[in-house]
Structure 1
Amino acid sequence: MMSAERVAQLEYSEFQAAMLDEEKRRRKAAKIVAVLGHFLGRDKDVLAGLTVADIGCSAGFIADELAAAGAKHTFGVDIDVPGLRKASQRFGERVAFVCADGTALPFPDGSVDVLVFNHIYEHVVDPDAIMAEMRRVLSDDGVLYLGLGNRLGVMEPHYKLPFLSYLPPALADRYVRLSGRADSYYERYRTRRGLRKMVRGLRVWDYTFPVLATPAAFAGNELFPGVVGRVAGGVLSRLPRPVLRALLPVVPTYLWVATRGDRRPAGLSLPRPPERVRPL
């Protein structure tokens, strides 16, 4: 839902240093490419022959990795002008960077084969309008990768404050001010139920537990690195399905792949295969 108090976060990379952390961004990109590779049933040149767009690309590291995965045409879209400038200077030879709002994507209907929307929705004024635009430009056989933060994740990832995203805006603003981390709390997260509503009109597959339980299949331990990741993966791989379903409402991040049609994951079977998400 659009909030009258919020305005677009222009020049996001200028005040969010994480967008310029190249090593971390490329690790995230490796996970994204691995998930897409599994869904498409491709081990090499995962995006070969496809038109790909990273929505909310900022400094362009993920878009660059999408191009390296063989994409025929790669676009990076954002309103972060300083980030786009840096991206174009480094990666402009193989990625076309476009300054555009996600609510008015500069692509014809059904023209994009793969869209990436990774941890962006909480930063935009109207995520539902952006989702509608992505549905519009996604091809009939296209794939949309979604990295989605959960409002009920205990530790808020931007400010490292427990239960911050649980609070109504006025209390959240007060909390971050008292912590000395910021003057106000901009981000707006949704629960799993709200996210299911956001993806209505799409067929969605949940890769959250497959990635956590089998990190080696999805470019290492980006979500929980090192020993923690191996332990977490081992525990999750042994949990019964009803227990995993019970944990879903409080998982910090959901990794979903969505399509307009009936396309299904084409990769090899996993100990925890992706399951359908039923949009509201």
Structure 2
Amino acid sequence: MERGYQHGYSGSVTSMFDIEGRRRKARTMVSVLSECSDRPLAGLHALNVGGSAGIIDEYLSRHFASVTGIDIDETAIQFARKTFNNENLHFETGDAMALRYEADTFDVVVCSQVYEHVPDAGKLMAEMYRVLKPGGKIYFAAGNRLMYREPHYNLPLLAVIPRPLAHRYLRLVGKGEYYYEKHFTYWGLKHLVCSFSVTDYTPLIIRDPDKYQARYMMKTGTLKHGLARFISRYAIWLVPGYIWVLEKPMTTMRNAEVM
């Protein structure tokens, strides 16, 4: 089976319509972006790539000058349009690997748990780079292939084993015929984002979840929190997921000024 587009994702994943769950993620996004931005968010224009049903987009629109949500899932975009009508909020059905926007359009791009769902993560990254203004930032949340439990199917080691075996694994446990999601390792992700400068917020968030509105990930003082702090410090490549802020270099702007 060829790995094409993953249409209709929201029809099989109810968490896309979980209002509180999605807003928790959005609060962390706002917290991180507020800290790393050199300008108030209220003056910035944001694009959410793969925003699905629009819940995160709506929350972001309370903090940004404008928010555009794009997803290939027509059902999710229709839900978003019917449910949210903030004046500074726009939804579009579109391909994240072929964005229709002009170069250097957005101050901020959000790409949260999306790269594994597109046919070509490299094309996704190149398109986000293109539409981002020089000096602009991407909130990039990404899962690590070296995770014990794969979150989409709640199965141990599914992402780690070779893909032909993963397809058989899904069939054996009755959770599907084809394992679509394609995760990268820590080093694969670093290569994927090599065009950007990277600020790794993962250890900062793990160290102080309360500061970044991330208590839903882990509670401070627990055994899980202590283990996560240890791993993020001494074996970052084993952390199951990352939150990075990617910054597009200012080179393009400097070249334009010289010309």
What TM-score comes out, normalization by structure 1 length? 0.84
Equivalences for residues 54-203 of structure 1 within 5 A: 54-69=48-63, 71-94=64-87, 95-203=89-197
For residues 67 and 141 of structure 1, the distance between their equivalents in structure 2, rounded to whole angstroms, comes to 21
Does the 8 Å contact 2:49/2:96 carry over to 1? yes
Q: Are residues 1:9 and 2:6 paired?
A: yes
For residues 35 and 115 of structure 1, the distance between their equivalents in structure 2, rounded to whole angstroms, comes to 13
Q: Which amino acid aligns with 1:22?
A: I
The structural deviation recorded for 1:237 is 9.2
The answer for the alignment partner of 1:261 in structure 2 is 249
Does the 8 Å contact 2:203/2:229 carry over to 1? no
The answer for the alignment partner of 2:15 in structure 1 is 18
For residues 180 and 52 of structure 2, the distance between their equivalents in structure 1, rounded to whole angstroms, comes to 18
Q: Which amino acid aligns with 1:231?
A: T
Does the 8 Å contact 1:19/1:59 carry over to 2? yes
What TM-score comes out, normalization by structure 2 length? 0.90
The answer for the alignment partner of 1:275 in structure 2 is none
DSSP-derived class of the 1:140 partner: strand
Q: Are residues 1:38 and 2:31 paired?
A: no
Q: Percent same amino acid among aligned pairs?
A: 37
Does the 8 Å contact 1:213/1:233 carry over to 2? no
- How big is each residue's C-alpha offset from its partner over 1:220-248, in whole Å with a ceiling of 9 and x where there is no partner? 41212xxx444258636975xxx644321
| Structure 1 residue runs of 4 or more that deviate by more than 6 Å after TM superposition | none
For residues 254 and 171 of structure 1, the distance between their equivalents in structure 2, rounded to whole angstroms, comes to 26
For residues 238 and 17 of structure 1, the distance between their equivalents in structure 2, rounded to whole angstroms, comes to 31
DSSP-derived class of the 1:103 partner: coil
For residues 122 and 237 of structure 1, the distance between their equivalents in structure 2, rounded to whole angstroms, comes to 23
DSSP-derived class of the 2:135 partner: strand
Q: Which runs of 5+ in 2 are unaligned?
A: 251-259
Q: Which amino acid aligns with 1:8?
A: Y
For residues 41 and 252 of structure 1, the distance between their equivalents in structure 2, rounded to whole angstroms, comes to 29
Q: 1:234 to 1:16 in 2, by over 3 A?
A: closer
DSSP-derived class of the 1:139 partner: strand
CA RMSD of aligned residues (A): 1.9
For residues 232 and 25 of structure 2, the distance between their equivalents in structure 1, rounded to whole angstroms, comes to 23
Q: 1:27 aligns with which of 24, 27, 35?
A: 24
Q: Which runs of 5+ in 1 are unaligned?
A: 263-280
Q: How many residues align?
A: 249
Q: Which amino acid aligns with 2:66?
A: H
The structural deviation recorded for 1:250 is 1.2
Q: 1:106 to 1:30 in 2, by over 3 A?
A: same
The structural deviation recorded for 1:183 is 1.9
The structural deviation recorded for 1:38 is 1.3
Does the 8 Å contact 2:96/2:127 carry over to 1? yes
Q: 1:17 to 1:152 in 2, by over 3 A?
A: same
Does the 8 Å contact 1:115/1:134 carry over to 2? yes
